[in-house]
Amino acid sequence: METVYNRFVSKKNLATILFLTMAAGFLYSQGSMNVVLRGNWDNNALPTVSGYQYNDVWGYESGGREYAFIGSTVGVHVIDVTNPSALVNITQLTSGCASTLWRDFATYPNYLYVISDNCAGSSLQVFDLSPLPGVPTLVYNSNAHFSTAHTLTINSESGRIYVSGANTQMNGVLIL
């Protein structure tokens, strides 16, 4: 009987140690780890999808100014983050799909490429960023290759766009 009890205690202690280790790892991973919050932009008026309002962020620099592109439930927000204590919401770029949370985007070289997922009627959109700090202009909007896509990546050396999760490519990748 003593042996069974000692095994039980040992397993119980092991489970407790494992739980505490996992909890400590989780708490440690949530720390700032030498990251300093410089500014915060939020729009509580945005609608939510499954409790969320935002899905992605991308940085861009031009003319000595820094910008953040933030994907939300209503489009892509263009924020001037040059002065982090005084963020400026330049505009909201409306995509062909205003009812999805999932947007993906990237820049190359002075264009912003935008896709949306989970929404019929979406497209590949390209915005010219040269008017910044003014409003970027839409220069391309087409669903010739797909109408929804999940992920967009641009190879900065080749200029190729890789699109995955497109409704026209079952488990494949489009290369543009």
User: How far apart, in whole angstroms, are the C-alpha atoms of residue 77 and residue 57?
Assistant: 9
User: How far apart, in whole angstroms, are the C-alpha atoms of residue 147 and residue 86?
Assistant: 37
Task: With cut-offs at 50, 70 and 90, classify the pLDDT of residue 25.
Answer: low
- The residue type found at 156 is S
pLDDT tens digit sequence for 102-119: 889 999 999 999 998 877
> pTM (2 decimals)?
0.78
Of 158, 161, 156, whose CA–CA distance to 175 is shortest? 161
Angle at 148 between CA 99 and CA 150, to 5 degrees: 95
Other Cβ atoms closer than 10 A to 69: 23
User: How far apart, in whole angstroms, are the C-alpha atoms of residue 143 and residue 30?
Assistant: 40
The whole-number pLDDT of residue 2 equals 47
Task: With cut-offs at 50, 70 and 90, classify the pLDDT of residue 5.
Answer: very low
Which segment of 27-36, 63-72, 164-173 scores lowest on mean pLDDT? 27-36
**Joined tokens for residue 127:** 């915005």
Mean of the pLDDT values across residues 50-56? 89
Write out the DSSP string of 31-76. Answer: S-TT---------TTS--BTTBSEEEEEEEEETTEEEEEEEESS-E
pLDDT tens digit sequence for 119-143: 777 789 999 999 999 999 999 999 8
